[in-house]
Structure 1
Amino acid sequence: MPTLPWTAPNPVPPGTDVHVFASRFETRTLWGAFRFLLRTPGVWRQVSRAPGAYGATLKAEVFKKTFWTLSAWESPAALKDFARSGPHAPTARGLSGQTQDAKFAHWEVPGDELPLDWAQARRRLT
């Protein structure tokens, strides 16, 4: 699966700082990676309609069993609301046993720096 392009569900108000979230998941098995991949469309649709979402992208390296996410949010609360609702909540719970390694990073950037750069996210996650 190629990298999903940056999608921006909601415009960032001028002069606004945004909350950035990046993650890296590695599954235990190739089967776990395929399960992750199969659940991606539902979560991606949720992101595209999420209140407070300013943008998101996903990079899937299925045969390396590794998935990267990068997103921008109105606030940590908007991100938390997203993560605890819709398809994301049961997907995260259902795949937690398939994950052997996960890393997360949060930081703030001015909204005019969107879309975000994968290089910065990778640096923060390694």
Structure 2
Amino acid sequence: MPDSPWLTPTQAAAGAEVYVMASRFETATLLGAVRFFLKAPGIIGQIRKAPGAHGAALRARVLGRTFLTLSAWEDREALYRFARSEPHRSSSRAASAYMKESAFTFWTVPASELPIAWDEAERRLAERKQGY
């Protein structure tokens, strides 16, 4: 399944630092992966309208039951506001029932470095998993 392209809901100000989050989700079953994937369009639509969202992308490997997300935000609070709002809030609660493993990592970059490359996100997630 192809990666979703990086979307830019609002352009970050020139010279700004942005807050980046990468996540990795693995579902316990293929049915869980399908459920996760079917929720993705609603979450992407929410990101398009979220205040402070500067970018997002999804790497979905449904048959491998693995999903990576990558997003950039004005600041940490903008990310947290998004996570606490609907439909993300209820979707993430529901997903916990079929999730096997999840990992998150956060960092800041100059806005000029957007979009973030998948290899950078995967490297940071791997380092986090290894306890670095």
| TM-score of Structure 1 vs Structure 2, range by shorter chain | over 0.9
The Cα of 1:2 is off from its aligned counterpart by: 1.7
The percentage of counterpart residues that share the same residue type is: 50
Can you list the C-alpha shifts for 1:7-52, whole angstroms capped at 9, x where unaligned?
0000110110000000000000000000001111110100111100
1:73 is matched with which residue? 73
Q: What stretches of structure 1 move > 2 A for 4+ residues in a row?
A: none
- For the residues of structure 1 that align with 2:103 and 2:67, how far apart are their CA atoms? 11
2:129 is matched with which residue? none
- For the residues of structure 2 that align with 1:25 and 1:118, how far apart are their CA atoms? 15
Q: Give the aligned length.
A: 126
Comparing both structures, which one devotes a greater share of its residues to strand? 1
1:20 is matched with which residue? 20
- For the residues of structure 2 that align with 1:66 and 1:12, how far apart are their CA atoms? 29
2:29 is matched with which residue? 29
- For the residues of structure 2 that align with 1:2 and 1:51, how far apart are their CA atoms? 27
Using structure 1 for the length normalisation, give the TM-score. 0.98
Can you list the C-alpha shifts for 1:38-96, whole angstroms capped at 9, x where unaligned?
11111010011110000000000000000000000000000000001021000000011
1:98 is matched with which residue? 98
Using structure 2 for the length normalisation, give the TM-score. 0.94
- For the residues of structure 1 that align with 2:104 and 2:92, how far apart are their CA atoms? 14
